[in-house]
Amino acid sequence: MCGILAVLGCSDDSQAKRVRVLELSRRQFFILFFFFYFPPLILTLKHRGPDWSGLYQHGDFYLAHQRLAIIDPASGDQPLFNEDKRIVVTVNGEIYNHEQLRKSLPNHKFRTGSDCDVIAHLYEEHGENFVDMLDGMFSFVLLDTRDNSFIVARDAIGITSLYIGWGLDGSVWISSELKGLHDDCEHFEVFPPGHLYSSKNGGLRRWYNPPWFSEAIPSTPYEPLVLRRAFENAVIKRLMTDVPFGVLLSGGLDSSLVAAITARYLAGTKAAKQWGAQLHSFCVGLEGSPDLKAAKEVSDYLGTVHHEFHFTVQDGIDAIEDVIHHIETYDVTTIRASTPMFLMSRKIKSLGVKMVISGEGSDEIFGGYLYFHKAPNKEEFHRETCRKIKALHQYDCLRANKATSAWGVEARVPFLDKEFINVAMSIDPESKMIKPGEGRIEKWILRRAFDDEEHPYLPKHILYRQKEQFSDGVGYSWIDGLKAHAELHVTDKMMLNAEHIFPHNTPTTKEAYYYRTIFERSFPQNSASLTVPGGASVACSTAKAIEWDASWSKNLDPSGRAAVGVHNSAYEDLLPPVANGNLAPTMIDDVPRMVGIPAKELTIQS
């Protein structure tokens, strides 16, 4: 993932400002961009794009870019232009159908081999109505210097992060992260997924309008091979890369299918010719965790070069402040899951890998979270999946994007492919309903689609492994240790005053209070706290789904183990009785401090 920052229509276009911007953009850490009359930004976007920095100025418009080079590393530096350089664009993302789009523009000359080079030319040809032609993940700012108009757009689901802010001088600010805005904008907010901002029209409009968005109940019969082919195509198109890559492998269904398809189709790709046909896989967990065991088994079955990273509870706790700084949230489940992913991404980057393929999005599309067992009917099941997909940019997409970008690694998510979502969300939700009495566990239609007796993708017991949320699968003592740590640092008296200190999204647990105080230190503005979602949740449900089971309102924890009566290791079977729903502080002493085991050395074939 790259990092973009645009300041559009600010009140100062002096050379001194440009010099200052260039000077600060070249620093290695702490500061990305700020203008000489603003207070220093002590935070950075540099981590998102360590390969190159670019800055374009046209009058009082500034487009800046921090590049992570994945496609055409030699010549694809940004900002990018059309032929006469009157249309300028800065982009974060990947356009998987860029070769087909180039062929549709025979009268245009492209300056680079970058996949993002098509955007300026598509605008030149089609005006603002080209965004739906893009197949990929992206956030971009495009400036048309012919009339000083500009557009901003974000991909359909919000895989790439993007924020918009407004300055007192009338300027509009766009940034990949809050860090580019929070000190200099009077107000800022999340730029909504699937939307376009046009300066000509003066506001936002939704460009992504799929049939499922209305939450109408679909009726297409389930066809296993149609679903299988759609997902295989989604994975294959994401093998487009000019740099070393691998797959994140937890050993659960979703990441295992991504790995299996990648391993099956890698040999015939350009990536295999450049870097070798043997796939590299990566997993993280506490010693003895469910994910480590399952991932090793899948790796052995697929023949990947497997890299297993261990962390301790204390390692994770020590990283929490950095995680919140980079992920830019105080949401409990996001922080729990982001921390091991953040630690793993650092290890991955140290091995020379710049891109990974991951399994986010499947649980939202297929109702894979364990609370879906309690869906009362297919209509409620389907509406909940729609709500979950629409909120992904605030949760799993945010985590996958920022936890990897923190170390200059790009994460690609084939389950969130537009075409695949259209196929999966058009299926009659009756087929997705969980019916244990009929042998249909969560995500049964996805499992069945890849249950091939003749040419198996995965071992049966992996294909039908129960859902583990990432924050659980890395080791159950991880969440327990976080709760115990928070218990040591947040007093009962502090909790009594929580609603006065944090009137918006008031933390209701000591763990949530602990994260919120860290977040507020980095992002004290009210606008920042408003970018984070809130509301009750059990096992990652929306607030609406809590109505499915009256007992859930008494056990509001986002862990999958809160799905009492469903999860094989539910809280009622694991935890000792404790007062006020909090773990006793001494429990932290019972968490083992494991010693990490070095992963295999990564060898990239040429």
Q: Which residues sit opposite 8 in a β-bridge?
A: 61, 172
Q: What are phi and psi of 497, to 5 degrees?
A: -100, 5
d(CA 505, CA 525): 14
What sign for the dihedral angle of Cα 103, 107, 110, 116? negative
Q: Are 236 and 261 in contact (CB under 8 A)?
A: yes
Q: Are 181 and 193 in contact (CB under 8 A)?
A: no
The one catalytic residue among 2, 283, 386, 540:
2
Pairing of strands 149-154, 172-175: unpaired
Q: Which residues sit opposite 305 in a β-bridge?
A: 280
With CA atoms as reference, report the closest residue to 486 among 342, 588, 594, 337: 588
Q: Are 136 and 410 in contact (CB under 8 A)?
A: no
Amino acid at the residue 261? I
Amino acid at the residue 518? I
Q: Which two tokens stand for residue 178?
A: 């809050």
Amino acid at the residue 164? I
Pairing of strands 245-248, 280-285: parallel
Q: Are 552 and 392 in contact (CB under 8 A)?
A: no
Residue written as token pair 């492994």: 465
**Is 184 known to sit in a ligand binding site?**
no
Amino acid at the residue 141? V
516 Cβ contact partners less than 8 Å away, ≥ 6 residues apart: 330, 502, 505, 507
Q: Which residues sit opposite 427 in a β-bridge?
A: 220
Q: Which two tokens stand for residue 223?
A: 């066809």
Catalytic residue flag (residue 283): no
d(CA 160, CA 424): 22
Q: Are 102 and 118 in contact (CB under 8 A)?
A: yes
Is residue 143 helix, strand or coil?
Answer: strand
**Is 359 known to sit in a ligand binding site?**
yes
Amino acid at the residue 209? N
Residue written as token pair 């025979």: 106
d(CA 124, CA 89): 12
Q: What are phi and psi of 139, to 5 degrees?
A: -135, 135
Residue written as token pair 């697929």: 302
Q: What are phi and psi of 574, to 5 degrees?
A: -105, -40
d(CA 168, CA 11): 10
Q: Are 121 and 86 in contact (CB under 8 A)?
A: no
**Is 254 known to sit in a ligand binding site?**
no
Question: Where does 217-367 have alpha helices with state H?
Answer: 224-237, 253-265, 270-275, 290-302, 313-327, 332-350, 362-366
Q: Are 99 and 136 in contact (CB under 8 A)?
A: no
> What are the binding residues?
115, 248, 284, 358-359
| Residues designated as active site | 2
Q: Which residues carry a binding-site annotation for ATP?
A: 248, 284, 358-359
Annotated binding residues for L-glutamine, written as ranges, equal 115
